Structure formats: C-alpha cells, structure tokens
Amino acid sequence: MGQAPSSPTEPSGRDTYFRLLSPEFVDCESFGFGNVVVVAGGDYDLTGDLPGDCIAHIFQFLNAGDRKRCSLVCKRWLFIDGQNRYRLSLDARAEILPFLSNMFNRFDSVTKLTLRCDRKSLSLSDEALVMVSVRCSNLTRVKLRGCREVTDLGMESFARNCKKLRKLSCCSCNFGTKGLNAILEHCKFLEELSVKRIRGIHESAEPIQLRSSSSLRSICLKELVNGQVFESLVASRTLKKLKIIHCLGNWDNVLQMNGVGSSSLTEIHLERLQVSDVGLYAISKYPNVETLHILKTPECSNLGLVRVAERCKLLRKLHIDGWRFKRIGDEGLMAVAKHCLNLQELVLISVNATHKSLSAIALNCGKLERLALCGSGTIGDTEIACIAEKCVALRKFCIKGCPISDVGIKALALGCPKLVKLKVKKCEEVTGEVREWLREQRKTLVVSLDDDETKGAVMVNEDDRRGLETVVEDPAPVAGVGAEVVGVGRLAMFKTKLGLLAGKNLVASTFRRWSQSEATSST
C-alpha cells in the first residue's frame, strides 16, 4: 500500500493526443501551418497562424488573472492583449503617476476607464487626469471614485480632450459645478451622468447650465448638499431616467420645472427626499412614466398617488415605501388598481394595504407578474388568499414581516398557476413544514423560507443549485431628523452610522436579481 505500481501506466487520451501532434507524427505543412514558430525543446507554437482577432476573442472569456498571465506568454500575446483591452480599472493613487505613460502605451484602445482611490491615500491630480485624456481620447465611459485632488481645471481639460464621452460617474470628489459645466459643454454625446457626494457642490455653487444640443438621457443624484443646482438638467426634454436619493432641500419646485406634456421621462426614483404631494402632482403631468419609485418620502400621501395613477396610465412598475408615517394606503392603491391596468411589478413596503385594495389590484391588473409585500400588519391569510385566487399571471412573489401563516402560503401555491418563485421572510407563523408540502404540490416552484434556526444565514435552495441567497436582516431603527438620540457615547454613534449604511433591504436585492435573470433568459 502506498507504493507506485510496478508496471508502467497507460497513457491517457490527452497525452496520446498531444503525442500525435509532435513533429515526428505531424507534417505542419499538410495542416497549413507553414509559418509556425519553433520554440525551445522542439515544440511548435500552433497559434502562430491564428489571426490576432481570434486570440483576442478567446481572451475575452478569461478572467482578469488568467488574462494577465496569458499576456506574459510571448510578445505577440502581450501586444494582442493590450490592443484589445477596452476596459481598465486602476488604483488611482498618486504613486502610479510615473507609470501612466508606459501603461497607456500598452493599453491605447481603452474606452471604459475606472479611477478609484481609497480615503487614506493621496489620489491622482489634474496632471494625471489630463495625461489620461490625451492618451485615451476615445473614452466613452469614465468612473471617478475618491479622486479628491482633481479640480475644476482638471475636469475642464479632460472634457476638451474626451469629446466622445457618453457616460460619467463621479463619487467622493472635490471638484464642483464648473467642472461639470465643462463636461456638458464639450461632451456633446454625454447620455448618462451620475453624481454622488461631490463636495464642490455646496450651497453657494453656481447652477448647472444645460446646453441646447444636450443628448442627456439619465441623471442620478445622490447625497448632495445642494442638488437643486441640477434643476436645468431635470427640466430637459430629452431626459428619460431620473434618480434622486438622499439629497437635502425641497424638491417640489425642481420636479415642477419639467415641461408639461412634453416630458420624455419614463423612469423616476425618489428616495429619502423632502417631496410632498405637490411633487407627485408634477410627476402626474409626465405622460410617459412607466417606472416610479417613491421610497421613504414621508410627506407623500394618498392624494398625490391618486393623481399619479389617474394620469400616468402607462405605469408598469411601482415601488412604495411608506416608512414610519404610512400615509399611503387603500385609497391610493384603489386608484392604482382602477387606472394602471398595465402594471407588471408592485412593491409595497410599510404600506397598510387591506383586502379591499389588494382585491382590486388582483382583479384589474391582469398583467401583474411580480409582487412584494413587506412590513405590513394588515396583510394576513385572507389577503393572500385573495391574491392567490385572482392573480393568475403572478410569477414571482415575496412577502416579509407580515402576519401570515401556512394557510396563506398553501393558498398561494394552489391558486397561482404561473408562480415560479416564492420568498417568505420573517413571517413568524410560517413553519418549516410548509416547505415539504410545497415540494410535493409544486415540484417546479423555487421556494426560499427562513426558519427560526437559519435567520441571517446563507441558504441554498435544493430545487435551484445555481446560486446562493442571503437573508438580509433589517437594520436597527435610526433616529430621524429632529429626533432625540438616546446615548451620546462612541458606541451609540457607531450604531447610528451603521444603521444608515445598512439601508438596503431584501426586496431591492430580490427584484434586482429577478430582473437580471429575466434579462439573461430573454437574450
């Protein structure tokens, strides 16, 4: 035992294959490889006659590490990799400045560039950004993360050299509105702009100027002190997607600036904003809106939602988070059920919907395919039974933190013939026994439940081995604006900050995963 066999082992199929390809068995001329390269040891480089485009196409299937190792095989592969590397991400610390010239001598075809620097390091300055813009004038997508040494002058020079730019994302930088105005002036093809935590956009910052020839299609504003300087961009008639998250100030007047009846907006995302029903009245004048997210906007009520439902009849996706105040309920949802007949996706978080409104939605919205109900004390087995009976097109259902039991889950499984995915989280009266029952009744149904022993753990669904699903716990309640915070020590401050950072919930990640899977299946 443990000793090698006395007789020689038989060669494997792979060894036999490569042995047959050795010079003593293969005539390279007969195979059309007349120009193959002989390397050390008498072996032949069989890739010698392959076109560079073929090798570059193979490189696209490799991960970053394997691609780097392949580029070190020979000079030809190094050249091919550099000429066909269109996406590059760099650690944008100031120490790499001496190497930038040689780096972009090799990667001179880059069109998508990410410069990222951590908080503790000194980032690249204007000099480096200008060098990048000169060497990579064909850039179409640029992300700047933590580049605090870049100023308005650097952004202006960058804009003059990269006129083909189509997408710009800036986060935690120090330049201001002058640099962004230069981008809008010189980058005529800019379609997407994302601005997050830009310190140069302060209360006294000059407004952003919209150019008449602007081709801007999407704007994302996040955590800005004076985001109202983008008022002219929000009013653009070419804008299709608007996302505003956790920006200070009142936004009702900004939403009213968009042209009445001439707006092209199809997707609006408002989260943690000071927006009232006045802002929703303004949104109701956008006739092409198909996706609307109203998340944690305490001043929005049923009145605003009714007006939106009456006029935005093309609405397909609606997400509502009533947060602590819960001013949206049956009245607004009844209007949605009456007027939004094309609704396909509905997410209700902290919305006290009852049998009355859910029954109307299930009956009238015959195209509803994705439904999520979270944190509502008024949704029980009766409401679930109503959904199961009338939502015949429902394919994906998620419920979290609602007083339902096994009875409701069984009714849902028996009543929705097209249901393919079911998620049940933090519903205390739902037991693990219903999982086995669901497997017997609906073998093709993908089920995700959290038992008392597995809360907060990683779960693997036995019916779907393709991936893992993580149960995300709710963050601890955080004191709101103007509220009194209990405890002033370091521990209390840390818990407060941690709660703010953990704002993403299960529903957002769930629907993002679902939408990605649908996009993959459609292609």
Output the pLDDT for position 481: 36
Structural domain includes residue 189: yes
Residue 177 near residue 205 (C-beta atoms within 8 A): yes
Structural domain includes residue 285: no
3-state secondary structure of 13: helix
- Angle (deg, nearest 10), helices 355-364 and 330-339: 10
Structural domain includes residue 175: yes
Average pLDDT over all residues of the chain: 81
- Report the domain count for the chain: 1
Host domain of residue 218:
85-224
pLDDT digits (tens, 9 = 90+) for 63-114: 888 888 888 888 888 888 888 888 899 999 999 999 998 888 888 889 999 9
**The domain that contains 192 carries what CATH number?**
3.80.10.10
Structural domain includes residue 395: no
Residue 123 near residue 144 (C-beta atoms within 8 A): no
Residue 465's Cβ-count burial label (10 Å; 0-12, 13-18, 19+) is: exposed
Question: At residue 379, does pLDDT exceed 90?
Answer: yes
Structural domain includes residue 478: no
Count of other CB atoms within 10 angstroms of residue 232? 16
pLDDT digits (tens, 9 = 90+) for 221-259: 999 999 999 998 988 888 999 999 999 999 999 998 875
Q: How many CA atoms lie within 13 A of 433 on its CB side?
A: 5
Average pLDDT over residues 116-120: 92
Structural domain includes residue 492: no
pLDDT digits (tens, 9 = 90+) for 9-47: 444 444 444 444 444 444 444 444 444 444 445 566 777
Give residue for tokens 């952004």. Answer: 155
Structural domain includes residue 275: no
**DSSP annotation of 429:** B
Structural domain includes residue 377: no
